[in-house]
């Protein structure tokens, strides 16, 4: 079995983004009555009669992850006003239940599968996944490979949804996984669509963190790669996230040509010949265009 390619019997993780949305807020129209004002005031949650400090602190940590991509133990300790050891125990318990996970490289904590699932549950009928799902299934059948729907989050990408290949040896479901954008084909497709000033803001330094020996590790090389992506309309990844795993990524734009997400078709690198890449790229571009046509 290939490193990073899972066999069919392995269950797929389910997760997605809980960036949430704007915080709920009350507003009164100019003609609002005193009764309306009273109703609004009464709707504001009151402090519980018997607060549980540990639960309160754990929920504060989850709120922190709503507003930022990651938190460290020191940041958690300072923000909620507890000792580092207490913050570490709280994060460890959240990790145990899947609400956070720890990045293996930075050791910072990021949103975990359970937390992300709650977000997707509230958006089930409204997010891009519902429009894209049928096309992901068709593209996977057409190419015989695993297909992911991916979105950009700063310098990272989040895997939103997946249709796994039916082959015995295949790339597994990465739903909920967060990876450096410049190491993935879908991430490169999304980065290539950014305005130059936005790209420079995301990558102010020349050195880039890589995941494998094949990962892009300089901004100059990344810029050259993105120029090629814009020219041919698709991106590639050959062992840049995991050895022996490759993919082809394409951008999804809505009807106003605004970038919304990306598709990747992933396979063992041994199956990604030049001819296969060309065929897969054409199929992925058709699928991306079809998805974009359904988006508001």
Superfamily classification of domain 123-294: GAF domain (3.30.450.40)
What is the structure's pLDDT at 218? 97
Asked if the model's pLDDT at residue 24 lies above 80, the reply is: no
Question: How many whole angstroms separate alpha carbon 90 and alpha carbon 77?
Answer: 10
What percent of the chain lies above the pLDDT cut of 70? 79
First to last CA, the chain: 41
What is the reported pLDDT for 140?
98
- Vertex 256, ends 283 and 180: CA angle to 5°? 60
Q: What is the structure's pLDDT at 20?
A: 32
Q: Given this model, what pLDDT does residue 103 score?
A: 74
Q: What architecture (CATH level 2) is domain 54-119?
A: Orthogonal Bundle (1.10)
Residues of the chain with CATH 1.10.10.10: 54-119
> What is the distance between the alpha carbons of residues 293 and 68, in angstroms, rounded to a whole number?
32
Position 35 scores a pLDDT of 38
pLDDT at 104: 67
Reported confidence tier of residue 67, pLDDT bands at 50, 70, 90 = confident
Q: Shortest CA distance to 135 belongs to which of 153, 161, 170?
A: 161
Q: Write down the pLDDT at residue 132.
A: 95
Residue whose tokens read 């958006």:
123
Proportion of the chain above pLDDT 90, given as a percent: 57
Tell me what pLDDT residue 46 has: 60
95 contacts 102 by C-beta, under 8 angstroms: yes
**Residue 265 in this model has a pLDDT that exceeds 50:** yes
Task: Give the pLDDT of residue 25.
Answer: 33
- The whole-angstrom separation of Cα 278 and Cα 49 is 64
The single-letter DSSP state of residue 154 is T
At residue 222, does pLDDT exceed 70? yes
Range from 21-30, 200-209, 263-272 carrying the lowest mean pLDDT: 21-30
pLDDT above 90: residue 107: no
Is the predicted pLDDT of residue 179 greater than 70, yes or no? yes
Instruction: Considering the chain, tell me which residue range(s) the CATH 3.30.450.40 domain(s) occupy.
Output: 123-294
**Of 95, 76, 96, nearest in space to 86 by CA:** 76
Please state the rounded mean pLDDT for residues 269-275: 95
């Amino acid at each position: 079995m290939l490193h990073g390619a899972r066999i069919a019997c392995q269950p797929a993780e389910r997760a997605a983004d809980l960036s949430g949305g704007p915080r709920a807020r009350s507003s009164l129209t100019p003609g609002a009555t005193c009764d309306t004002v009273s109703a609004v005031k009464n709707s504001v949650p009151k402090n519980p009669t018997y607060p549980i400090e540990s639960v309160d602190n754990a929920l504060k940590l989850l709120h922190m992850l709503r507003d930022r991509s990651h938190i460290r133990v020191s940041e958690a300790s300072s923000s909620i006003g507890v000792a580092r050891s207490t913050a570490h125990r709280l994060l460890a318990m959240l990790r145990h239940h899947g609400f956070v996970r720890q990045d293996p490289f930075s050791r910072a904590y990021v949103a975990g599968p359970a937390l992300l699932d709650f977000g997707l549950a509230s958006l089930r009928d409204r997010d891009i996944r519902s429009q894209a799902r049928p096309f992901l299934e068709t593209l996977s059948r057409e190419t015989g490979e695993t297909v992911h729907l991916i979105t950009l989050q700063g310098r990272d990408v989040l895997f939103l949804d997946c249709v796994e290949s039916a082959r015995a040896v295949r790339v597994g479901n990465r739903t909920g996984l967060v990876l450096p954008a410049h190491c993935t084909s879908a991430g490169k497709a999304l980065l290539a669509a950014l305005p130059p000033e936005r790209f420079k803001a995301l990558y102010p330094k020349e050195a880039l963190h890589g995941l494998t020996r094949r990962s892009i590790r300089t901004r100059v090389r990344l810029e050259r790669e993105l120029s090629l992506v814009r020219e041919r309309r698709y991106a590639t990844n050959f062992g840049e996230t995991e050895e022996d795993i490759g993919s082809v990524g394409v951008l999804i734009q809505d009807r106003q040509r605004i970038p919304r997400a990306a598709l990747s078709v992933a396979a063992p690198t041994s199956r990604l010949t030049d001819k296969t890449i060309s065929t897969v790229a054409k199929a992925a571009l058709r699928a991306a265009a079809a998805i974009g046509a359904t988006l508001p």
